[in-house]
Copies of this chain bind each other. A is one copy, B any other.
Amino acid sequence: MVTAQDLPDFNNVQKAAERLKKYVHRTPILTAQGLDRICGAQLYFKCENFQKVGAFKIRGATNAVFDLPEEMLTAGVATHSSGNHAAALALAARWRNCTAYVVMPRTAPQVKINAVQSYGAQVTFCEPTLEAREQELTKVISRTGAEVIHPYNDARVIAGQGTVALELLTELPDLDAVLVPVGGGGLLSGTALTVRGLKKKCQVIGVEPQNADDAHRSFYAGRIIPSDNPQTIADGLRTSLGTLTFAIIRDKVDDILTVTEESIIDAMRLIWERLKIVAEPSACVPLAVLLEGRSRVAASKIGIILSGGNVDLDRLPWLKDKV
Interface pick from A5-13, A201-209, A273-281: A273-281
Give residues 281-323 of A contacting B (CB, 8 Å): 309, 313-314, 316, 318-319, 322-323
CB < 8 Å: which of B276, B314, B318 contacts A314?
B318
A52 — nearest CB in chain B belongs to which residue?
B33
Determine whether A269 belongs to the interface, using a CB cutoff of 8 Å to chain B: yes
- List, in ascending order, chain B residues with CB within 8 A of A323's CB: 319, 322-323
Q: Is the pair A111, B273 in contact by a Cβ cutoff of 8 Å?
A: yes
- List, in ascending order, chain B residues with CB within 8 A of A30's CB: 50
- List, in ascending order, chain B residues with CB within 8 A of A318's CB: 313-314
Determine whether A28 belongs to the interface, using a CB cutoff of 8 Å to chain B: yes
Complex Cα distance, B278 from A2, in Å, reads 44
Determine whether A220 belongs to the interface, using a CB cutoff of 8 Å to chain B: no
CB < 8 Å: which of B269, B276, B322 contacts A277?
B276
Q: Is the pair A269, B313 in contact by a Cβ cutoff of 8 Å?
A: yes
CB < 8 Å: which of B50, B273, B316, B322 contacts A276?
B50
Complex Cα distance, B49 from A279, in Å, reads 15
Q: Is the pair B28, A276 in contact by a Cβ cutoff of 8 Å?
A: no
- List, in ascending order, chain B residues with CB within 8 A of A278's CB: 272-273, 276-278
Known: A28-B28, A322-B323, A323-B322. A276 touches B313 (CB 8 A): no
Determine whether A83 belongs to the interface, using a CB cutoff of 8 Å to chain B: no
Q: Is the pair B276, A309 in contact by a Cβ cutoff of 8 Å?
A: yes
Determine whether A190 belongs to the interface, using a CB cutoff of 8 Å to chain B: no
Known: A49-B276, A278-B277. A314 touches B309 (CB 8 A): no
CB < 8 Å: which of B269, B313, B322 contacts A273?
B313
> A87: shortest Cβ distance to chain B, in Å?
12
Can you pick out 17 interface pairs between chain A and chain B where the beta carbons lie within 8 Å of each other?
A30-B50, A54-B276, A111-B273, A272-B278, A272-B313, A273-B278, A276-B277, A276-B278, A276-B279, A277-B277, A277-B278, A313-B316, A314-B319, A314-B322, A319-B319, A319-B323, A323-B323
Q: Could you tell me which A residues sit within 8 Å of B by CB distance?
A: 28, 30, 49-50, 54, 111, 269, 272-273, 276-279, 309, 313-314, 316, 318-319, 322-323
Give the top 9 A-B pairs by smallest Cβ distance, nearest first. Answer: A276-B309, A276-B278, A49-B276, A322-B323, A272-B278, A277-B277, A50-B276, A276-B277, A272-B313
